[in-house]
Amino acid sequence: MKRNTLAKSLAGWVGSTLNAPGSPGREHCFQVRPQFRIPGAGRVDLLTVRHETSGPDRFRVDLWTIVSRALLEKDVDAMMRRLHAFEAWYAELIEHAETQGFSPDHRISVRGNLVGKAVRRSPLVDLLSHWGSSIFFWTWKRSGSGVEVLPAYDRAPALKAARTQLKGLLDHLTWEDSVEREESVTKPTRASL
């Protein structure tokens, strides 16, 4: 499929699948904007905004990019750039509003979504796909005249080696090492007759 066709198919899938009410009674609107340009970072195929009313109002902004091949680390790099640029752009807007005497009465979260025929694993992709909160990986396949999109994740990588490295890096933070505590508890001995 060509990129424009893929992007239109993705918009159709997002509109029909993700446009279901998130919180009944609180959802105000759901917007889909194709080919959205982020200053300094280029375009995404799709930008979606879900607005829920509450005190304060909440907005979830999703940036979407779809490719006709497997997702690569360069796609992750580009999406991270777009996420940071969008957040900086929004921060600039907030700062300008505050200098005019306004303060935000809402919360916003921004997430990136990468959609490909497959996801090529790497240490970065494994880390982000299992424990990241700002980027999501999806796979697509043809379905009728459009596409079917499914979340992509694989078996979680082992963390034992990373634990030691993280503890050393964050030595000023207080941590309770529950694994060491559990390992130090003596195993019950069996009575001998």
Q: Could you read off the pLDDT of 1-26 as tens digits, one per residue?
A: 687 888 889 888 888 787 665 555 56
pLDDT in tens, 81-115: 999 999 999 999 989 988 989 887 888 899 999 99
For the chain, the C-alpha Rg in angstroms (whole number) is 22
What gap in Å lies between CA 87 and CA 161, rounded to an integer?
A: 32
Domains parsed from the chain with CATH numbers: 3-158 (3.40.1350)
Q: What Cα–Cα distance (Å) separates residue 164 from each residue in 144, 150, 155, 170?
A: 49, 34, 21, 10
